[in-house]
Every structure is written in C-alpha cells, then in structure tokens.
Chain A
Amino acid sequence: GQNIDQPTEMTATEGAIVQINCTYQTSGFNGLFWYQQHAGEAPTFLSYNVLDGLEEKGRFSSFLSRSKGYSYLLLKELQMKDSASYLCAVMDSNYQLIWGAGTKLIIKP
C-alpha cells in the first residue's frame, strides 16, 4: 500500500529553527508537495520537489532524497504566525496525490 508518515505534532520556540520530516512509500513518484494549513482554513502551497536536493524559498526550505523516500521542511526564524499544520503529499505514478496526516506545529513565545 501507499503510505506517508509525518510526526503528529511538534513544538518550537519563536525565532528558532524547526525541521518537519516526511517519509513515503508510494507506487511511483512524480514529486513531493508541502502545504501549510492554518486552523479552520484551506491548505496553501509551500513547495514542490521532484529532484534530490534542497529548495530554498525565503524562511522555508524543502529537501528531498528519492532514494531514501524522505523529505523535510525546514522553517527558520520562526514566527507565531507559523503555527499551523504542515501537510506532506506525494504524487504517485497515476498523478494522484497521496497525503500525510499532517504535522501540527505549535510555536511558543
């Protein structure tokens, strides 16, 4: 079967750095997405990785290792507004998105 694993919840301090991991086992691979979802709101796109390596976008970076079935989202200089759930999703060989359950990130002052 297809499976995406991410930690259920993480806590970090304002101004610090946090890394949210995602491991996956899917039928084929056409890229990995990260989305942010604030409570009560719709998910919004953060990043897309299809090649190995690190993609940096401002305070957010996303890393992919296809051989290890592994990705992480790195958030720097954390702000209170970063408190949200972070969803990892992999596009399989049928171009269907398989979603993880999400990681709830709690930022403390």
Chain B
Amino acid sequence: KAGVTQTPRYLIKTRGQQVTLSCSPISGHRSVSWYQQTPGQGLQFLFEYFSETQRNKGNFPGRFSGRQFSNSRSEMNVSTLELGDSALYLCASSSTGTGISEQFFGPGTRLTVL
C-alpha cells in the first residue's frame, strides 16, 4: 500500500505571495490532518478534514486554509506569506472517523519564505 505523499517537497516563496500544498492520503483513509513543524515548537495542528468537511481547526490565522476532495486528497493554502511561515508542513492520514488511530505522516513540504 502506498504511503502518504506530499507535493511539492520543497518550495521557496517571497513575502506576500501565496502557496498551495497538496497531500494524498493512504488509499482508504478518509481523515487528513495538517501540521506546521518548526524547530523548538514541535508540531502545531492546523486543521483536520474528514469526508470533505473540516472537523477540527487549530489556532492559526485565516491566511491558512484547506480543503479536501471527494477522493480524500487534500490541499492547504497559505495566502500573503510572512517570513514566520517558513516551516515544514506535514500532513497525516488516518483511517477512522474518531481519530483515535495511528496517524501516518507524509514526508512533508519544506516552505521557505524570503
């Protein structure tokens, strides 16, 4: 079974631009969560989608948004990029609706904002 895939793996943008990141979960997984990881901060939860509906949202500004498609693939968008948005963005998929299951992580997209 193929793992979680994320594209692109690396991205360099400048302040003020916007970016879209993509995540394809493991086949059959309907839950996709997005995280931001920075050194010393650990994983910060952005949002979780289940069956095309946002089920949970972390404490990030509205510049961060996401969506999920009928095939469970998910995209995350960040508008008006700031220097502080430079981070590793990870997505994770899981199989159950309650979320009490192992999360499988993708390799991440490393975003650098100049």
Q: B90 interface residue, CB < 8 Å from A?
A: yes
The answer to whether A31 and B44 have CB atoms under 8 Å apart is no
The answer to whether A44 and B42 have CB atoms under 8 Å apart is no
Q: How many A-B residue pairs have CB under 8 A?
A: 53
Contacts of A45 in B (CB 8 A): 102-104
Chain B count of residues within 8 A CB distance of the other chain: 23
Assess A87 versus B100: contact at CB under 8 Å? Given A42-B106, A42-B108, A94-B56.
Answer: no
CA distance A102 to B99 in the complex (A): 21
Name A95's contact: one of B43, B98, B107, B108 (CB within 8 Å). Answer: B98
Name B103's contact: one of A4, A94, A97, A100 (CB within 8 Å). Answer: A97
Q: B45 interface residue, CB < 8 Å from A?
A: yes
Interface residues of A (CB under 8 A from B): 4, 8, 30-31, 33, 41-45, 48, 50, 87, 89, 91, 94-102
